[in-house]
Amino acid sequence: MNIDKDVDFILLDMDGTLLDLHYDSHFWLEFIPQQYALKENLSLAQAKTHVYALYSHVSGQLSWYCQNYWSKTLGLDISRLQHMTKQKVKCRVDAVIFLEKMKKADKRLFILTNAHPNSVALKMKITGLSHYFEHIISSHDLQVAKEDTCFWQLLEKDFHVDFSRSLFIDDSEKILQVATDSGVQWVRGISTPDSAIPAQTMQGFNTINLFAELF
């Protein structure tokens, strides 16, 4: 792939691709069980067992990514708790440099995220990234998760994205597979979505650590 010649559309996941997944890992795996333990008067271990089981029921579905679903299911104000921890939201190392470069090259930049619109709004406010993008699309707006081929059909039809001239980058191998099956020409995985966890490998896809590796 030659980005200059082969690519017009750059489709980017948000959490774990543009932003350090460490915020979300910490929030959902540590902070939420802590808050749940306090509310229900449980030990942290008990709260983790209960909360993680609830997560696994809806993994990969739109509910998994939905703040309202978790506010209701756990009896916690997720939006307020995200605001309490927002200082941990950070861009991945060379994300801004990459976006600057692609904007100057007149590429058409999209965010494609499963994150809830409230979470997207909070993260855009903190990072100031929104001005780089022609569209910031949450799967909640389309009512279908990126794991579903319908998401990609809607993207092609409603946003006129030419998949033959598109590069999609995401830290989820499952989502890269669906994008490929839906006709996206170029895809790359992220090997280090969470700065606190060692690099992941992907079986079927090329991965990058830094965006600079795309050139």
Q: Does 13 bind Mg ion (CB under 5 A)?
A: yes
Taking the least distance from each CB to Mg ion, the nearer of 36 and 168 is 168
Minimum distance from CB of 146 to Mg ion (Å)? 9
Minimum distance from CB of 194 to Mg ion (Å)? 10
Q: Which of 4, 6, 77, 94 is catalytic?
A: 6
Q: Does 194 bind Mg ion (CB under 5 A)?
A: no
24 CB-contact burial (10 Å; exposed 0-12 / middle 13-18 / buried 19+): buried
Q: Does 171 bind Mg ion (CB under 5 A)?
A: yes
| Annotation says 6 is catalytic | yes
Q: Does 20 bind Mg ion (CB under 5 A)?
A: no
Q: Does 15 bind Mg ion (CB under 5 A)?
A: yes
Q: Any idea which residues carry the catalytic annotation?
A: 6
Interacting residues toward Mg ion by CB under 5 A: 13, 15-16, 171
